[in-house]
Structure 1
Amino acid sequence: MTNIDERLPVRPGHMEAGELAEPIVAYAAHLSGLGYTALTIKGYTDSARHLGAWLALSGLTISALDEHALERFARHKCRCGGNRSSDRLSSKYVRRVHRFTYYLGDCGIIPKVAPAALVVDPSVARFGEWLRRHRGLSERTIARHVRMVSRLLPALGVDPDAYDASRVRAVILDEGTRCSAAYVKTMAMALRGYLRFLATRGECRPGLDHAVPPTPDWRLSALPRYLLPEDVTRLIEGCDLSLSHGIRDRAILLLLSRLGLRAHDIWAMEINHVDWAAGTVRVRGKRRREVRLPLPQEAGDALLAYLEDARPLVDERRIFLRSAAPYVPFASSNVVSTIVRSALRRAGISDAPSQGAHLLRHSAATAMLRAGATLDAIGAVLRHQSPDTTAHYAKVDLATLCLIAQPWPGDA
């Protein structure tokens, strides 16, 4: 086949979108509906028009637009026309073209390119479904457990009836030579769950979960990582309320620091979760347990200011959205931790004991304790399942600990 670069030594004066002309017009309207500016839309449609011109010059039709064709487009030395100053395409430019093809797939103009499916053993797939139906775990946690068990399965073997304590122990000890202690601890937890699942189905001998060796980790041995109240105030006051994302970030920081919410709680919060008349907010925590928490006045005012003045006017149930187009919910709860890190940097707090959203959860707990709240009350707000977890915060109440501390043996 003749190379397009050889057939077209002279660059045409302009690009013709060819078969993609009408889809590009609809694509521009779609981007406008998502809130993109005219300049950004032009950049996206220009790259889509380039794809159409390349297809026509290559003698290809829309039906030939697949991953192989897109790879060829990304590598081609451009002679497609127009006033492009470079013959090569940047990675950003190619990503824009890929986004246009995703739009074509959503519209049914071209077949969608399905991502490669993860090959999972049937028993592990049933384990994932068991976690979903009977354990109430989130999809993210289920996917992690399935992935980790799948990694261990070649060493364990496909016949659960042949599992014994020595094999189970050897598998984890072997992983410990290659992975961090934190990763092995999570992997051991997934394996224990898998062995319990198999035992309930009679596929392996019961009690093998006890053969999984513990990972050295002294639970709750360190002091809680928290900020002092004055640092939390600096964090919140550092938000620029002249910007829409500053109003949004202030509401998020107040919810985290006043109610001790998790990053996932913020990410999943929907408009109908807030009961303005009762002054409460509904939160779905771990294991899908829902509770209603009182909404502090300051946090409620900040949330209302975001909803009325800064939140994009889009039909979306989630409360917190991106501040730039497309106006959609955060991709994951990790974005909430990114907001906290940015706030720490703005406030000039360089010695924070941690950088994520959980820092403000710990700060809320310690602030409640110092204000005189009981551990039971703190556990109720933080939604702890075990009182031992809440007792962790008693370590920061040094004044009370001094009253009950016993003298060291041998001291005069």
Structure 2
Amino acid sequence: MPKSTEGLPECAQLMNPGALRPFVEAFTGRLLGLGYTRLTVSGYEASARHFGQWLQNKKIAVAEIDHRIVRGFARHRCRCPGIRQTTRLSVKYVNRALRFVGFLAECGAVKLSERVPPCPDQDEILAFQAWLRRHRGISERTVWRHGRMIMRLLPALGPDPMQYDAALVRQVILDEGKLSSHAYLKTMTMALRGYLRYLAAHGLCHPGLDQAIPTIPQWRLSALPRFIPIADVERVIASCDVTTPMGILDRAVLLLLARLGLRAGEISGMRLDDALEWMITILWNR
């Protein structure tokens, strides 16, 4: 992670983490190595720098950091250097700082009397999201949504992917079906299929488990007729006023739709030469 503060919010740039500076740099380097985007890393770095600045303001040594200190940081009325002025910090912001404290404990910089509650397999989820960006080409919004859905399923799936089997995967989705709408559940099955394929590709679970995920039926537009009777089609075509240029155009479009089964997009992209060729085909087939 570069030592510059480029990309950080202005308020975070003015915050000095003091003795925690090398740990902040190592922390952000760890996140980048796990596949975090620079935007996400900047959010974690801002929280870590802010935490360090607050410790300096309160004259709290690094060795004194514990969960009581983190709770004090979460409740403090922020007047730290920069433009941040708030009466409370968001849960998400504090959780970022809490993860940084967990990193300090891993490094041996602090000793916590109680274990930092980690987000279940968060590093693995981040690696999965990086894999989606690299291999699936989906939007960032979808990447984030798939990660969030897998986080929801992890407690039911269990911590060890090598213990997953077809019965477990199927039951997890069936249980979610009792709590979620069909549309939400359909998206969740897509996320789980991607996650299981990612795990299998890296040898972290048995291959083929994505095939055990049940299909979620969602019949949109099921009340519409499958086709229009021929007599109705002919009435629509006959309704065009061929004495006007617009009526002639409407009739030509309807003939292309009805007789040749072209899609609307195919017709709208046609040129005059294409249209003449299709009309000749229609006349030849009559």
Larger Rg computed on CA atoms? 2
More helix by share: 2
Structure-2-length-normalised TM-score: 0.42
Higher relative contact order, chain-length normalized (CA < 8 Å, sep 6+):
1
